[in-house]
């Protein structure tokens, strides 16, 4: 790892002023030039940033630490919804009483990630902005399409962990379990620029697939700081569930995860359903057909099963990852039943 200088920002606007690039942009810079001191990146928990630097994929000249910015880790009621400061740790999200009660799928998603040590350091903002875990993307020896190269090595290579949906020229999956749940709740992200003005975007729009831009996963712009995640107010009758399957229960990435948010009328019929698949596509993958299978129905095993099957309709598995489909269908069915229980 090369030498870099270190600076602490005192406010979001100061951070936005200091930072002159996004991590995605910085990684596309000529490796010979990027070690120059003019590349300034922002750091929250630093979990992914440190990985990228150790892997030789990112050589910032300066790192601006956001951790000292006061108040940016608070979780507070906001217009009936909830505003989560971008520096709130995954552990805070996993254990916050309101989140646990009203946004259960999000708390469970945060709790399912990484290890206890990492959850105490990793921030929700950093978690949403982390780069994908695709092993070709993470290998400095493979100049893949996402790093400005010509190929996606995964299509013809080792693709057991890759996307079964939405892989236009790049088969990464978005690694964040929290994103799966946040999209299911219709969360927004709040971005602050150097002038202090805010841009608020639905997370589902903020996350971009390869068809929009193959070289970044979000619409974060240079000179912006992700400052908060805003959860909308939900009816009291809302129930949610999150399920994750990994190859091992401790400290592993999802091979499939699912968030389900349901709202049922007094007669028990489902009047709103939101179902999102994780580790399935380059972005959290909403499955409207599966949602449609629930709306207007009284949820039982048959209905849940139909939702599971609808969720994987249209999937385009690669050579080694079709096994994800029965898992995704199972998780959808189980999560629907769990949310409706």
The site for another protein (CB under 8 A) is made up of 1-3, 133, 135-136, 139, 141-142, 153, 156-158, 160-161, 245, 247-253, 255, 316-323, 325-327, 330-331
Q: Among residues 69 and 241, whose Cβ is nearest to another protein? A: 241
- Closest distance of CB 333 from another protein, Å: 8
User: Among all chains, which residue has been given the structure tokens 């920002």?
Assistant: 9
- Closest distance of CB 147 from another protein, Å: 14
Contact 134, 55 (CB under 8 A): no
Q: Among residues 8 and 155, whose Cβ is nearest to another protein? A: 155
User: Among all chains, which residue has been given the structure tokens 């619409």?
Assistant: 219
Q: Any residues with CB less than 8 A from the CB of 51 and at least 6 apart, and which?
A: 138
- Closest distance of CB 251 from another protein, Å: 5
Structure tokens at 157: 């290579």
For residue 118, give the 3-state DSSP assignment: helix
Q: Among residues 6 and 248, whose Cβ is nearest to another protein? A: 248
Q: Among residues 11 and 135, whose Cβ is nearest to another protein? A: 135
Separation CA 99–CA 92 (nearest Å): 10
CA triplet 149, 208, 134: central angle to 5 degrees? 50
Separation CA 103–CA 96 (nearest Å): 10
- Closest distance of CB 151 from another protein, Å: 9
The H-assigned helical ranges of the chain are: 12-18, 23-28, 31-34, 47-54, 90-95, 97-102, 104-111, 116-119, 124-129, 177-184, 203-206, 288-292, 301-312, 324-340
Q: Among residues 47 and 340, whose Cβ is nearest to another protein? A: 47
Q: Among residues 289 and 320, whose Cβ is nearest to another protein? A: 320
| Among 278, 327, 332, 295, residue whose Cα is nearest residue 310 | 332
- Closest distance of CB 71 from another protein, Å: 33
- Closest distance of CB 23 from another protein, Å: 18
Contact 216, 196 (CB under 8 A): no
- Closest distance of CB 47 from another protein, Å: 12
Contact 339, 243 (CB under 8 A): no
Give residue 314's Cα distance to chain centre.
22
Q: Among residues 86 and 331, whose Cβ is nearest to another protein? A: 331
Q: Among residues 202 and 317, whose Cβ is nearest to another protein? A: 317
Contact 170, 153 (CB under 8 A): no
- Closest distance of CB 170 from another protein, Å: 16
- Closest distance of CB 256 from another protein, Å: 8
Separation CA 105–CA 125 (nearest Å): 17
Kindly state the helix (H) or strand (E) to which residue 202 belongs, with its residue range. strand 198-202
Q: Among residues 140 and 265, whose Cβ is nearest to another protein? A: 140
Whole-Å CA distances, 80 to 77, 114, 272: 6, 30, 19
């Amino acid at each position: 790892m090369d030498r870099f200088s270190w600076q602490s920002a005192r406010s979001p606007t100061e951070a936005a002023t200091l930072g002159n690039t996004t991590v995605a942009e910085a990684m596309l810079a000529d490796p010979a030039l990027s070690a120059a001191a003019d590349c300034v990146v922002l750091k929250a928990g630093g979990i992914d940033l440190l990985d990228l630097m150790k892997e030789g994929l990112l050589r910032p000249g300066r790192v601006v630490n956001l951790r000292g910015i006061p108040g940016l880790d608070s979780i507070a009621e906001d217009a009936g919804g909830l505003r989560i400061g971008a520096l709130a740790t995954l552990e805070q999200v996993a254990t916050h009483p309101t989140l646990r009660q009203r946004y259960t799928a999000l708390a469970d998603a945060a709790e399912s990630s990484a290890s206890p040590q990492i959850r105490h350091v990793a921030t929700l903002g950093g978690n949403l902005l982390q780069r994908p875990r695709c092993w070709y993307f993470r290998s400095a020896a493979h100049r893949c399409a996402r790093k400005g190269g010509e190929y996606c090595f995964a299509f013809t290579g080792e693709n057991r962990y890759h996307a079964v949906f939405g892989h236009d020229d790049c088969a990464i999956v978005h690694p964040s379990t929290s994103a799966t749940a946040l999209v299911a709740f219709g969360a927004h992200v709040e971005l602050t620029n150097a002038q202090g003005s805010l841009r608020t975007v639905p997370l589902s729009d903020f996350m971009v697939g390869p068809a929009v831009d193959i070289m970044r996963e979000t619409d974060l712009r240079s000179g912006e700081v992700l400052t908060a995640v805003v959860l909308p107010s939900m009816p009291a009758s809302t129930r949610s569930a999150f399920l994750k399957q990994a190859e091992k229960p401790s400290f592993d990435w999802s091979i499939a995860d699912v968030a389900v948010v349901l709202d049922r009328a007094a007669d028990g019929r489902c009047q709103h359903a939101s179902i999102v698949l994780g580790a399935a596509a380059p972005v959290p993958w909403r499955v409207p057909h599966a949602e449609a299978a629930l709306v207007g129905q009284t949820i039982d095993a048959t209905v849940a099963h139909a939702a599971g099957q609808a969720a994987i309709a249209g999937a385009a598995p690669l050579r080694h990852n079709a096994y994800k489909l029965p898992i995704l269908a199972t998780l959808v069915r189980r999560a629907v039943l769990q949310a409706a229980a």
